[in-house]
Amino acid sequence: MTERERVARQSNELQAQEEPIARHRSGGLPTTWQAMRKSWQAYALLMPIFILLIIFNYYPPILGLLRAFYRWRPGVEASFVGLQHFNVYFTSPETPRELLNMFKLLLFFLFTGSVVPFVMAELIFRIRSNDAKELYRLFLIIPMLVPLIVVILLWKQIYDPNLGLINGILEALKIEALSRNWLGDTASALYAIMFMGFPWVSGVGTLIYLGGLGQISVSIFDACEVDGCTGIRRTLQIDLPLVLGQVRLMTILAVIAGITSFQTILVLTDGGPGFATMVPGLTMFHKAFRTQQFGYAAAIGMLLFILTLAATLVVNRAVHPAVEETGR
């Protein structure tokens, strides 16, 4: 990743050198129009991409922002309803519950998506034997060779009240009293969804942190050793500050996933039992594809967009990546 950043930085330097030459080549101070006509080839080559992007990638989000204020369904003329959808959403009795669920999931994703992978990456990074390191990396990747839907369906089976692994373990330990229908019980369903993926170490996060740690120059660690800064102190004072860029990335990813993702919930519980595991994203999905309220769904989509935007800005403000001052 940092390799790529370096390439990108080089490219910027290259461009900085190129630009004046290009301007010079086209002769004195050309009007923009002339320069544009001269570079028709570039525009022609970009044309197909932009046509596709305008229809399928620029237009939909803009349309979504507009249609949040309309009653909207396929085959029917959209009619303006103002802020009605937002009124309905915020006065609906299920809304506080699902916002709370979303918030709980978000906090938990911060732990599983940002903290746990860092600890795992740091431990693997500290391993002295390079062979062991490579082997651990390989084993981190193996669970990622299974499609996400299969992982979710497997966990659904693990939680199964009669055939599941968790109740099976409780039975073997003779504490059957604790066993329950994990996903079907209002008290446990949301926590079961959080627990999915335990112990949350094999994922892109650990690889990203490992990449970041690998970029820190050896001289820093040598200096640490000389200064007697080792163990947990080094982790907190050297390693962590130097991978803050990765910390920020993983935090933003966790926040966005916490606010917007609902695929897992859709498959595991579909928001149930009752509304116990409902989240706004799933409400959006249900409103659109089960009750055909596309305008209402677009309004929820817009709310979630604003939330992710705000949260991303907050994280960006809060986490400042440190700059390594010694030369590489």
Q: Which residues between 112 and 131 bind other proteins (CB under 8 A)?
A: 120, 123-124, 126-128, 130
3 binds other proteins (CB under 8 A): yes
Site for other proteins in 41-70 (CB under 8 A): 41-43, 45-46, 48-50, 52-53, 55-61, 63-65, 67
SS3 48: helix
Q: Report in angstroms how near the CB of residue 93 gets to other proteins at its nearest.
A: 23
240 binds other proteins (CB under 8 A): no
- Interface residue with other proteins, options 208, 238, 243, 268 (CB under 8 A): 208
Q: And the tokens for 264?
A: 């897992």
Q: Select 108 or 113, whichever has its Cβ closest to other proteins.
A: 113
Site for other proteins in 296-315 (CB under 8 A): 297-298, 301-302, 304-305, 308
Length of the chain: 328
Helix axis angle, 294-318 to 244-260, nearest 10°: 160
- Interface residue with other proteins, options 100, 107, 154, 175 (CB under 8 A): 154
263 binds other proteins (CB under 8 A): yes
- Interface residue with other proteins, options 69, 193, 294, 315 (CB under 8 A): 294
Stretch touching other proteins by CB under 8 A, among 3-11, 81-89, 96-104, 186-194 = 3-11
Q: Residue 319 contacts by C-beta under 8 Å, 6 or more apart in sequence?
A: 244, 247, 248, 251
Q: Select 110 or 151, whichever has its Cβ closest to other proteins.
A: 151
Stretch touching other proteins by CB under 8 A, among 96-104, 183-191, 221-229, 237-245 = 221-229
291 binds other proteins (CB under 8 A): no
**Measuring CA to CA, how many Å separate 80 from each of 67, 72, 87, 88, 190?**
8, 9, 14, 15, 37
147 binds other proteins (CB under 8 A): yes
Question: Pattern of binders to other proteins over 158-197, x per CB under 8 A?
Answer: x---xx-x--x-----------------------------
Task: Give burial (CB, 10 Å; 0-12/13-18/19+) of 261.
Answer: middle
Q: Residue 176 contacts by C-beta under 8 Å, 6 or more apart in sequence?
A: 167, 170
Of residues 104, 151, 107, 21, the one with CA closest to residue 277: 104
- Interface residue with other proteins, options 16, 145, 177, 318 (CB under 8 A): 145
CA dist., res. 50 & res. 52, Å (int): 5
233 binds other proteins (CB under 8 A): no
**Four-point Cα dihedral 75, 81, 84, 85, nearest 10:** 30
CA dist., res. 220 & res. 93, Å (int): 56
209 binds other proteins (CB under 8 A): no
89 binds other proteins (CB under 8 A): no
Task: Give burial (CB, 10 Å; 0-12/13-18/19+) of 138.
Answer: exposed
Neighbours of 61 (CB within 10 A): 12
The amino acid occupying position 254 is A
Question: Pattern of binders to other proteins over 5-44, x per CB under 8 A?
Answer: --xx-xx--xx--xx--x---------x--xx-xx-xxx-
